[in-house]
Chain A
Amino acid sequence: MSTAAKLIRDKKTFLPKDSPVPNRRVLVVDDEPDIGEGIRRILCPTGAATQVSSRRLAVVPPSGTPPPQAGTAPEFEVVVVQTVEKAIEEVTHALRENKPFAMGFFDVVLGGEVDGIQLVKQILSVDPKMYAVFVTAYHDRSVDNIGSFLGEENREKWDYINKPFTEGEILQKARNATSLWDLHRLKEWQEERLSEAHQKLLQHEKQTAVAAVGRSVAHEFGNLLTHIIGNAELAIERNKPEEMKSALEVILKASDTAANILKRFRSLHGAGERPSAPGPLDVWQILEEALELMEFQFRKRSIMVKKTKPEFVMVTGYKHSLVQVFVNIFINAMHAMENSGEIHLRVSESADHAEISIRDTGPGIPEDILPRVIEPLFTTKGAEGSGLGLAICKEIVEIEHRGKLIVQNHPDGGAEILIQLPAMRRKS
């Protein structure tokens, strides 16, 4: 048994319980019952006929086969059929029962209009995951012919064995093909888990940004509600029309500010509910939205934001995602500078893209870790960082927006994040 097959078979020690189970189901299609049964005896020497359904032919153990040992499970579960129709029926039935075949041995000449190769083509259209091994003494169809008939897409789905074959060859082919089937299922299963985990991490990262901004929102709301309640109470107590009017004006202003904060916060939180198509966006407007979300934290840490003379630059993109990118980068810059510092923002435009530079006046990124900061799960923040911020920013910029995100140290000190986005149009 191959190492991979062993690994899969011993999966209970390596993989979670819900990982795919090994599949040792083999279909044998040969119009000569003796050959079909011969293959079964090789693959299923322990009298395992009782394990397959009663529709199967009984196994006559060949002379010299050791008697079955009690409690030993056979390596393979074999179904033997003689006709094309029966073969298709078995494959379809197996799929329906959720017990697909991992592989099959196919005689090339089946005595009817349809030969083994045409049958395999039909079977692959029903169950594209199944592997086929052709058993042939037939020279009209060369191996090349099989390949061109089954097509490039099935190139790895088949193999062949010449008659007369040995027991060892049959066992080897069956083990190889079933192991391949297992490996592919395991790979699919792992990819699904990876994709699920990726989705969860994206969600987590978004929540981290939302939580960071949420603390600012809570603070601002606390203040705004204090304005509203305080002015209302004082106006009622004093009961003077002119003071009432000015109190009401303050209240309305505070309410408007609160509504705006809520709107911005929702737009950050709703990054998953983005429109299906990217829209035209003013880069500075996106930056301002992200800055407004960070305003309190910047103020608290005495972080100044310096902008180069604003140039009106439009890009095509998803607003919520880009706000999330800028908030993430601002949070990183803020953490890099601890208390007090500057964030320099510059937006420029070339023929085909807009470039946004976000630079901090922190210590910069040590050269030895610079190539790694963009890697998922890399973090310098210990348990507090998920290590996903920049990796997700890169994904949003490069995959979602077909742009580019570069992390570098600025010649004048500090870290600089350069984001290039496809420009929309120039307007002066």
Chain B
Amino acid sequence: MKKPGDKGMTTIKAAHLTVLVVDDDQMVRQIIIQNLRTIGFQKFLEAANGTDAHKYILDPLQRVDLIICDWEMPKTDGLTLLRAVRGHRSRGKVPFIMVTSQQSQERLKITKAAQHEVNAYIVKPFRAETLRQKVFQVLFEAMEKKTIAS
């Protein structure tokens, strides 16, 4: 994966990165995963709620390089997971993309999420292009801050 305009100097080895996809809708998880596969990602973790996702976060042997998480889910919601990730000793800087479907509460949500350093957000329904752009964006930003290995 190449950063646009970088003439191939900075690359991301998508195939090496593990993406944790959290959504209570299995079909939505599949769409995200299939779309990321088309741009070279190969390793995915899936969780249907924040509680299950948190188990991956707590597992020290589990690699997690990017989290794409739905906001509204049963049990632990996206915001709770984001807080848990940001409060984690070693995973506090993992890029986090929040997915949400409720336009009317968007402003409040973005403000809240920003306080906990969400890296990007995507509003459902989204186009594949939007998803891919956001993923590129947060990974390159993270790379520049050296919070993930390139």
A-side residues, CB < 8 A to B, are: 215, 218-219, 221-231, 233-234, 237, 250, 254, 296, 299-302
Q: Give the residue name and chain of the A residue nearest to B122 (CB).
A: A226
Is B117 an interface residue, CB under 8 A from the partner? no
Within B115-150, the residues touching A (CB, 8 Å) are 123-128
Q: Are B126 and A226 in contact (CB under 8 A)?
A: yes
Q: Are A229 and B127 in contact (CB under 8 A)?
A: yes
Q: How many residues of B contact A (CB 8 A)?
A: 25
User: How many whole Å from B70's CB to the nearest CB in chain A?
Assistant: 9
Interface SS majority for chain B:
loop
Chain B 1-33 against A: per-residue CB contact (8 Å), 1 yes, 0 no? 000000000000000000000001101100110
Count of A-B residue pairs with CB < 8 Å: 69
> What are 7 A-to-B residue pairs whose CB atoms are below 8 Å?
A218-B101, A219-B102, A222-B100, A234-B38, A237-B128, A250-B27, A300-B77
| Other-chain residue from A218, A221, A227, A237 in contact with B104 (beta carbon distance below 8 A) | A218
Tell me the complex Cα distance, A88–B33, Å. 88
Q: Give the residue name and chain of the B residue nearest to A250 (CB).
A: B27
Tell me the complex Cα distance, A346–B32, Å. 41
User: How many whole Å from B27's CB to the nearest CB in chain A?
Assistant: 5
Q: Are B74 and A219 in contact (CB under 8 A)?
A: no
Q: Give the residue name and chain of the B residue nearest to A231 (CB).
A: B31
Q: Are B101 and A233 in contact (CB under 8 A)?
A: no
Among B31, B34, B104, B127: residue with most chain A CB under 10 A: B31
Tell me the complex Cα distance, A228–B124, Å. 11
Tell me the complex Cα distance, A1–B97, Å. 75
| Other-chain residue from B27, B38, B100 in contact with A237 (beta carbon distance below 8 A) | B38
Q: Are B128 and A234 in contact (CB under 8 A)?
A: yes
User: How many whole Å from B146's CB to the nearest CB in chain A?
Assistant: 33
Q: Give chain B residues whose Cβ lies under 8 Å from the Cβ of A237.
A: 38, 128
B-side residues, CB < 8 A to A, are: 24-25, 27-28, 31-32, 34-35, 38, 72-75, 77, 100-104, 123-128
Q: Are B28 and A226 in contact (CB under 8 A)?
A: yes
User: How many whole Å from B33's CB to the nearest CB in chain A?
Assistant: 10
Q: Give chain A residues whose Cβ lies under 8 Å from the Cβ of B25.
A: 223, 226
Q: Are A227 and B31 in contact (CB under 8 A)?
A: yes
Q: Give the residue name and chain of the A residue nearest to B34 (CB).
A: A234
Q: Give the residue name and chain of the B residue nearest to A303 (CB).
A: B74
Q: Give chain A residues whose Cβ lies under 8 Å from the Cβ of B28.
A: 223, 226-227, 230
Q: Give chain A residues whose Cβ lies under 8 Å from the Cβ of B101.
A: 218-219, 221-223
Tell me the complex Cα distance, A223–B100, Å. 9
Q: Give the residue name and chain of the A residue nearest to B28 (CB).
A: A226
Q: Are A223 and B75 in contact (CB under 8 A)?
A: no
With A223-B25, A300-B77 known to touch, is A230 a contact of B31 (CB < 8 Å)?
yes
Tell me the complex Cα distance, A215–B71, Å. 13
Q: Give chain A residues whose Cβ lies under 8 Å from the Cβ of B128.
A: 229-230, 233-234, 237
Q: Give chain A residues whose Cβ lies under 8 Å from the Cβ of B100.
A: 222
Q: Give chain B residues whose Cβ lies under 8 Å from the Cβ of A233.
A: 35, 127-128
User: How many whole Å from A185's CB to the nearest CB in chain B?
Assistant: 45
Q: Give chain B residues whose Cβ lies under 8 Å from the Cβ of A301.
A: 74
Beyond the given pairs A218-B104, A227-B31, A231-B31, 20 more chain A to chain B contacts, judged by CB atoms under 8 angstroms and listed by A's residue number, are: A215-B102, A218-B101, A218-B102, A219-B72, A219-B102, A223-B25, A223-B28, A223-B101, A223-B124, A224-B125, A227-B28, A228-B125, A230-B28, A230-B35, A230-B125, A233-B35, A234-B31, A250-B27, A299-B74, A300-B73
